[in-house]
Chain A
Amino acid sequence: MATVELTFSALPAHVRTARLVATAIARRTGVEESLLDEVRLAVGEACSRAVEAHRAHCPGEPIRIELSDDSGRFEVTVSDQAPSDEHEHDRPLDLSMLSDSYTSGFGIAVIAGLADDVEVFPSPKGMRIRMSWPASANGRAG
Chain B
Amino acid sequence: MDLKLDHHNEDRLTIVEVEGEIDVYTAPRLRELLIDLVNKGNFHLLVNMEKVDFLDSTGLGVLVGGLKRVRAHDGSLELVCTQERILKIFRITGLTKVFGIYASVDEAKEAHGRDK
Contact = CB atoms under 8 A, between A and B. Distances in A.
Given A37-B85, A48-B23, A109 B93 contact: yes
Interface residues of B, number: 24
Given A37-B85, A45-B57, A100-B62, A114 B92 contact: yes
B68 A44 contact: no
Interface string B31-55: 1000000000000000000000010
A92 to B, nearest CB: 10
B35 to A, nearest CB: 9
B93 A100 contact: no
Interface of A: 12-13, 15-16, 19, 37, 40-41, 44-45, 48, 51-52, 93, 95-96, 98-103, 106-107, 109-110, 113-114
A16 B23 contact: yes
Given A100-B64, A103-B58, A15 B25 contact: yes
Contact of B61 (A41, A96, A103, A109): A103
Contact of A110 (B23, B57, B68): B57
Contacts of A100: 31, 61-62, 64-66, 68
16 contacts: A16-B21, A16-B23, A41-B89, A44-B54, A48-B24, A51-B24, A93-B94, A95-B64, A95-B98, A98-B64, A101-B61, A102-B61, A103-B57, A106-B93, A109-B92, A113-B93
Q: What is the predominant secondary structure among interface residues of chain B facing chain A? A: helix
A40 B53 CA distance: 11
A21 to B, nearest CB: 15
A93 B93 CA distance: 8
Contacts of B24: 12, 15, 44, 48, 51-52
Nearest to A40: B54
Nearest to A47: B24
Contacts of B94: 93
Contact of A48 (B21, B58, B66): B58
A40 B64 CA distance: 22
Task: In the A-B complex, list the 9 residue pairs whose CB atoms are closest, starting with the nearest.
Answer: A100-B65, A113-B92, A12-B25, A103-B61, A48-B24, A107-B57, A12-B24, A106-B57, A37-B85
